[in-house]
Chain A
Amino acid sequence: GIQVEQSPPDLILQEGANSTLRCNFSDSVNNLQWFHQNPWGQLINLFYIPSGTKQNGRLSATTVATERYSLLYISSSQTTDSGVYFCAVRNTGRRALTFGSGTRLQVQP
């Protein structure tokens, strides 16, 4: 099946810093989603972005489908950004989202 790799696995930032999270995938996809999992386990949708670039406030994401990677940018980080960020993909003909192992982000005041 499709492989999803996220980097870095762990990231510690000071409040106000910027960061870039990366997701590499091993096959063509028709669905790519970025999620933020809060400390209570809730997976919060950030972006549905199988290709192209989107922005939502301090967050933006870019997927280059032909090169099989996606990037999530967090600018001016806040302590509430802490948690685990997951990239999940689905390729043609499959039902499931395949998740990466996540990037654990800690933003310190």
Chain B
Amino acid sequence: ETGVTQSPTHLIKTRGQQVTLRCSSQSGHNTVSWYQQALGQGPQFIFQYYREEENGRGNFPPRFSGLQFPNYSSELNVNALELDDSALYLCASSLASGETQYFGPGTRLLVL
């Protein structure tokens, strides 16, 4: 059974640029959630996708957007990057919305 994978592992961007992060869910999981973890803090919920539809959103601006594909993999897009977007971005998959979430290794984004 393949676990949750994310790419890239690290990324450096400059303020104002756009970034796309990718996540492959664990085999058989149809729900993907994205979290942002700033240094020294717990992860914060960005949004969740269930069967290709957004299924809940946290307190993040519209420049954070996402997609889920028919194979249940997912993308997180961030436009107009700001310095405060520097963080570890974590993807989690689950069998359904309320079930145990399994996390990927994360993508470390640095915005200069």
Q: Is A99 an interface residue (CB 8 A)?
A: yes
The interface residues of chain B lying within 8 Å CB-to-CB of A45 are 100, 102-103
Q: Which of B15-23, B38-46, B65-73, B75-83 is the contact stretch?
A: B38-46
The interface residues of chain B lying within 8 Å CB-to-CB of A94 are 56
In the complex formed, the residue of A with least CB distance to B45 is: A96
Q: How many A-B residue pairs have CB under 8 A?
A: 58
In the complex formed, the residue of A with least CB distance to B44 is: A99
**Which interface class (under 10, 10 to 19, 20 to 34, 35 or more) fits B?**
20 to 34
Q: Is B48 an interface residue (CB 8 A)?
A: yes
What are 16 residue pairs bridging A and B, where the CB atoms are less than 8 Å apart in the complex?
A33-B101, A40-B105, A41-B108, A42-B105, A42-B106, A43-B90, A43-B92, A43-B103, A45-B100, A88-B43, A96-B45, A96-B58, A97-B35, A97-B45, A101-B42, A102-B42
